[in-house]
Chain A
């Protein structure tokens, strides 16, 4: 999957899981303050992403520092790059 395909897939997963309007998924949008997700929703989001992309991120400390949509994109791009190397 290319980087832009991955970003589109991540956004599509969020739209589907939370019914958030796609235009609200701006890179600078804060997933808590702007999109209204809480810590429990993030757990659900992690489960959705794990299922969709076949990755294990629940125990990854780096997910805790994700705050914006751009952070989330960057995090999953990093995971994808790590998977390619291994």
Chain B
């Protein structure tokens, strides 16, 4: 149980650092990316650069809470090659940053509100994140398939909203239908420990350890006979089973 002093110290250090890191990345990345875009005139490479910058930004944010908040990434199947659709359980507002652990070019499927965050929302739009509830489903499939065909991984949080506890809520099937349309593997990601960092309804971080487990991919061969409902149920079961194993250990 973290002490009150630990909580105060963590938040007193984290939030100023978070603001500083965000400002530093913005000041450095914007002119660099702009110059790159003007000189290279290669849209694909510019977008790859932007997504790489987002990943490094996320990784820097994850370090702002060290040592009171530690993030551990475990890849249970390093041989799995992208692109894939990633499906992660969702416990906290910090989960989006945790995706910086993945060493791939990625975009995230978001549920409206991230696009409303000042500045960060704008960057997410430029990086072609997909706001699934703000577009027709066919458009989501089309854009998602296009990204996957370019080698970009699509990360989704199929619960659609934070569970704010250890329970895994029911999954929406959009991302799984996208994987089936694009015929790419689905990678389940199990996130443990983030539910307190921060808790739902507050920005106060609590010390703790977050584990991000990348599980073995479910290949198109594995799911060829499954309906979208069956595929999402399978992925949800795998995440739930893994979380039960690691959290009860």
The B contact surface, by secondary structure, is: helix
B230 touches A40 (CB 8 A): no
Q: What is the minimal beta-carbon distance from B112 to any residue of chain A, in angstroms? A: 15
Tell whether, in the assembled complex, residue A40 and residue B177 are in contact, meaning their CB atoms are under 8 Å apart.
Answer: yes
Chain B 21-49 near chain A by CB (<8 Å), digits 1 or 0:
00000000000000000000000000000
> Whole-angstrom distance between the alpha carbons of A65 and B212 in the complex?
39
Whether A36 pairs with B174 at a CB distance below 8 angstroms is no
B41-74 contacts to A, CB under 8 A, are none
CB distance from A52 to the nearest CB of B (A): 15
Q: Does A38 contact B230, Cβ atoms closer than 8 Å?
A: no
Instruction: Give the chain A neighbours of B174 by CB distance below 8 A.
Output: 38, 40
Decide: A38 and B137 in contact? CB cutoff 8 A. no
Give residues of chain B (154-181) contacting chain A, Cβ–Cβ below 8 Å: 170-174, 177
Q: Report the bound CA distance from A39 to B172 in whole Å.
A: 8
Q: Cα distance A38–B172 when bound, in Å?
A: 6
Interface Cβ pair total, 8 Å cutoff = 35
- A residues less than 8 Å from B228 (CB atoms): 40-41, 44
A36 surroundings in chain B (CB, below 8 A): 170-171, 229, 232-233, 236
Chain B positions within 8 Å of A53 at CB level:
none
On chain B, the residues within 8 Å of A40 by CB distance are 137, 172-174, 177, 228
A14 to chain B, nearest CB (A): 10
Q: Cβ of B173 and Cβ of A41 under 8 Å apart?
A: yes
**Within A25-40, which residues are at the interface with B (CB < 8 Å)?**
32-33, 36-40
Q: How far is the CA of A40 from the CA of B132 in the complex (A)?
A: 13
Asked if B173 and A38 sit within 8 Å, CB to CB, the answer is yes
A79 CB within 8 Å of chain B: no
User: Among residues 1 to 43 in chain A, which have CB atoms less than 8 Å away from a CB atom of chain B?
Assistant: 17-19, 32-33, 36-41
Once the chains bind, are A19 and B173 in contact (CB under 8 Å)?
no
Q: Is the CB of B137 within 8 A of A44?
A: no
* Inter-subunit contact B230/A19 (CB<8 Å): yes
A38 lies within 8 A of B170 (CB): yes
Residue of A nearest to B171 (CB): A36
B→A interface (CB under 8 Å): 137, 170-174, 177, 227-230, 232-233, 236
Q: List 19 A-B contacts (CB under 8 A).
A: A17-B227, A17-B229, A18-B227, A18-B229, A18-B230, A19-B229, A19-B233, A33-B170, A36-B170, A36-B229, A36-B232, A38-B171, A38-B174, A39-B172, A40-B172, A40-B174, A41-B228, A41-B229, A44-B227
